[in-house]
Amino acid sequence: MTYTPAKDEAACRLPDPAQLRAAPAPRLRGLAAEIRAFLIDHVCTTGGHLGPNLGVVELTLALHRVFDSPRDTLIFDTGHQAYVHKLLTGRAEQFPTLRQAGGLSGYPSRAESEHDLVENSHASTSLSYADGLAKARQLAGEQQQAVVAVIGDGALTGGMAWEALNNLGSAPGRPVIVVLNDNGRSYEPTHGALARHLESLKANGSVAGCRNVFTELGFTYFGPVDGHSTGEIEGVLRRARTLNRPVLVHVVTVKGKGYAPAETDDADCLHAVGTVDPVTGRPAGSGAGWTWTGVFGRALAEVAAERPKVVALTAAMLRPTGLHAMQQRFPERVFDVGIAEQHAVTSAAGLAMGGYHPVVAIYATFLGRAFDQVLMDVALHRLPVTFVLDRAGITGPDGPSHHGMWDLSLLSAVPGMAIAAPRDPQRVEDLLREAVTHDQGPTVLRIPKAPAGGDVAALARMDGIDILHRSPRRPLDVLLVPVGPLAQAALDAARLLEEEGIGVTVADPRWVLPVNDALPPLAARHLLAISIEDGVTSGGVGWALAQACRAHNVSTPVVPLGLPRSFISHGSRTALLAAVGLDAAGIIRTVHDALTGTTLTSQETLR
């Protein structure tokens, strides 16, 4: 399809669900084309998940024609494929605000609409929600209301999905319809035995009474169904609804359908986009500069070239976590296990037991799903596994389920875990090299979703701590201890505080947890210490520093500056950090507030 922009906002006259159910079938093809044009126009402008939504247009139309949402429940897994659902449930006018502060969420949102039940965007959860909801309906005698879970073939690689299938298929009297949206991809093409099985089902076509993994689990199987024929999908869904038992409908779609740049995008760059040119599908602007992910990917490929025992694992996020560079050079040493974070971590433990040093590259928010494996399968055995947490801290427009803001608090409780936070590109390489030489337990590097910027040089190194700034010939009033890339905001604040006559030291611990033994004595030379971290303060770096100061009989008060213990909405990373005081202005306010109640006395100068 050649891209043709929508004529105006009124060009996509979207019916509500009731109108859609009454619409004549010939109207649906034109409606699908209008929706695609609308999506391309708006998502290319605001950014968001483009490819997945272009692929489910006809499927979503059929779902809303057969089922009466919200009386019937539609659950989308992972939720990034719900844009068409949003359009059909009255939110088209809000699309210019997609993923912007105060605007439309990029995922289903309970606050936005009664049609959205589940807003968590972590994959492989829909079938468990459906299982619980179907049980509730059965207990309440409301089984006439349908429960439908839409799950992609990528999300079906998650172990949690199979735990739910095991339960759903064992209850023939409890109707749940599972719609398997099979486009053969997560980001990269879907790998593994399940992918091969789905390919065999597609190759053999629909055979009445055929046995497959789903029928063996207790489901009635319909498929493969053409996912771009609303009529065909609608007919199968109507049949599935009449059976009043667990049914799996295998729908085959094309990711990015109807938009040539997305359909031919082998690298899947149009899965999730920033601002792009809708004609070409290419990023708007120069696109110059490295991201933190790119810096890590380049560094890992170099480290892997030097150290043959370094291997890498990812959970269906090869390119988004930067592993593509290593995979191109050493394909036999990079393992994509699918959306299976628990398996990835314990598989890494096995690799470490076998004499290798695994690097597990994963989004910070997703590592929480495998905390038990980190604790009991890696740390308990003191295994040398390095976790590189992409999207650590505030991520921005993806919202609360994607902010990687709990990793420091969670991982600080893991015995033997050492956590590093690079402040700049050079420190990514330095700390990665240090991590893969550590053989006494697990290590972590956390990097943000942001442009990498330039290097921040240290004035000196003191017992492993980089001193980035110290005020000359002044009492040292304040010690700022930034975590990772927040070092630049701390430096900006330090210079402004100096103009007010407040002496400041900025110290980057590099390895932020456990607390370096040299940090409490350094804090003792100041009236006040402030930690600056884009994680929740409960159990974070500031909390640990305060504990360490008490253990060293250091009386200097420690003020943890970080994220509140709450779910933070979507918006730009810069704006969200500023809103919680994690910019230079916020740091200065915190210093002023803390010093107001502190008696200033002459302090020993840092030597």
Q: Does 259 appear as a known binding residue?
A: yes
Q: Does 200 appear as a known binding residue?
A: no
**Pairing relationship of beta strands 511-513 and 528-536 according to DSSP bridges:** unpaired
Confirm whether 255 is a catalytic residue: yes
Q: Active site residue: 58, 188, 234, 341, which one?
A: 341
Confirm whether 119 is a catalytic residue: no
Q: Does 155 appear as a known binding residue?
A: yes
The Cα–Cα gap between 537 and 223 comes to: 50
Q: Find out whether 370 and 342 touch, Cβ atoms under 8 Å.
A: yes
Q: Active site residue: 36, 137, 174, 369, which one?
A: 369
Q: Does 585 appear as a known binding residue?
A: no
**Peptide bond just before 320 cis, omega within 30 deg:** no
Residue 138: phi, psi to the nearest 5? -65, -45
Q: Find out whether 518 and 549 touch, Cβ atoms under 8 Å.
A: no
Residue 408: phi, psi to the nearest 5? -65, -45
Confirm whether 369 is a catalytic residue: yes
Q: Does 42 appear as a known binding residue?
A: no
Q: Find out whether 339 and 157 touch, Cβ atoms under 8 Å.
A: yes
Of 404, 547, 551, the C-alpha closest to 483 is: 404
Whole-Å CA distances, 581 to 394, 419, 484, 563, 585:
13, 23, 16, 9, 7
Q: What is the DSSP letter of 174?
A: S
The Cα–Cα gap between 600 and 110 comes to: 50
Q: Does 121 appear as a known binding residue?
A: yes
Strands annotated E in 391-510:
418-420, 443-446, 460-462, 465-470, 478-482, 504-508
Q: Does 592 appear as a known binding residue?
A: no
Q: Does 153 appear as a known binding residue?
A: yes
The Cα–Cα gap between 179 and 248 comes to: 6
**Pairing relationship of beta strands 418-420 and 511-513 according to DSSP bridges:** antiparallel
**Chain centroid, CA 471 distance in Å:** 39
The Cα–Cα gap between 444 and 196 comes to: 34
Place of tokens 């040119």: 277
Q: Active site residue: 36, 65, 86, 255, which one?
A: 255
Q: Does 3 appear as a known binding residue?
A: no
The Cα–Cα gap between 34 and 30 comes to: 6
Q: Is 335 helix (H, G, I), strand (E, B) or coil?
A: strand
Q: Does 191 appear as a known binding residue?
A: no
Catalytic residue annotation: 255, 341, 369
Please report, in range form, the residues annotated as the binding site for thiamine diphosphate: 80, 121-123, 154-155, 183, 259, 341
Please report, in range form, the residues annotated as the binding site: 80, 121-123, 153-155, 183, 259, 341
Please report, in range form, the residues annotated as the binding site for Mg(2+): 153, 183
